[in-house]
Amino acid sequence: MTDFDGKTAIVTGASGGIGEAAAKRFAEEGASVVVADLKVEEGEATVADIEDAGGEATFVETDVTDPADVGAMVDAAVDNYGGLDFAYNNAGIEGEQAPLSDQSIDNWQQVIDVNLRGVFLGMRAEIPAMLEDGGGAIVNTSSIAGRLGFPEISPYVASKFAVIGLTKTAALEYSAEGVRVNAICPGVIDTPMVAHSREEDPQSIDQAVAATPIGRLGQPEEIGDAAVWLCSDDASFVTGEAFTVDGGYSSQ
Ligand code: NAD
């Protein structure tokens, strides 16, 4: 227990994948963690794992597209733990794969709602709570698909580019008041989202590994480490940054 002793963190999408790993990393560093997700059983399992390891966490059933849920998520941090210091707005969905002219309007809306509206609603509720508490740090999950085009997932790519724009604008607006805002652009990370892609197209993972100079998929903990670092005092002069953690994928 070091840096984050006495601090509070919210992690969305923390019932599995990157969010679960990040929630555990924040707790390991001493933060009390609000685990927010749609999936109740898996979210409660994340909390149980944190508690078993000696940490502190609470699950809050949250749909990040719903302003009332997002408000209740932030209230849970303030009411249970006395304030809000860090937020990792990470919940996201890939959506259906199809060329742009075959994309359904429903799929477009769903992906934009979760990945973009969710980050907007999250920051909108988190920033006032952080300002009340002397400042804080926010990390949003973008993607290498916020840096590069990827065929068949145009709504996803559009949402992840937009997350970087939101991140930079929030950083301009709030850094002087003590809230740093950054994004992480993960490469291909071994999570349930990628397992789903593997089911759809078994060769897609081999192709992703071949396109990753480091020669393997990333692990969710490696993204959790980056989120923890961006929230720590070690990153005290870092704001408005889209931090790529992709094994070199987007460097070619
Ligand atoms: P995942 O599917 O394993 O986990 C996503 C979590 O978000 C799930 O627990 C899900 O229940 C939750 N979620 C979905 N919709 C939600 C909603 N409306 N409200 C609350 N929670 C919701 O995915 P992951 O791979 O861990 O991805 C996490 C984030 O990282 C996403 O934003 C994703 O776009 C991004 N990302 C993933 C990769 C990758 O290769 N896995 C790469 C780049 C970016």
For the chain, which domains are there?
A: 8-242 (3.40.50.720)
What's the whole-model pTM score? 0.98
- Give, for all 252 residues of the chain, the pLDDT tens digit: 458 999 999 999 999 999 999 999 999 999 999 999 999 999 999 999 999 999 999 999 999 999 999 999 999 999 999 999 999 999 999 999 999 999 999 999 999 999 999 999 999 999 999 999 899 999 999 999 999 999 999 999 999 999 999 999 999 999 999 999 999 999 999 999 888 888 878 898 999 999 999 999 999 999 999 999 999 999 999 999 999 999 999 999
Exposure string for 44-62, b = 16+ CB within 10 A, e = fewer: bbbbebbeeeebebbbbbb
Amino acid at 98: A
Give the residue ranges of DSSP H helices in 105-191: 105-112, 118-132, 154-174
Tokens 């749609």 belong to residue? 38
Q: Tell how far CA 80 is from the center of its chain.
A: 22
Stretch (H or E) spanning 22: helix 17-28
Which residue ranges have their beta carbon within 6 Å of ligand 1? Answer: 12-13, 15-19, 37-39, 62-65, 90-93, 114, 141, 143, 186, 188-189, 191-194
| Rounded Cα gap, residues 219 and 58, in angstroms | 24
Distance 5 CA to ligand 1 centre (A): 27
Q: Which residues are catalytic?
A: 156
Which atom of ligand 1 lies closest to the CA of 188? 40
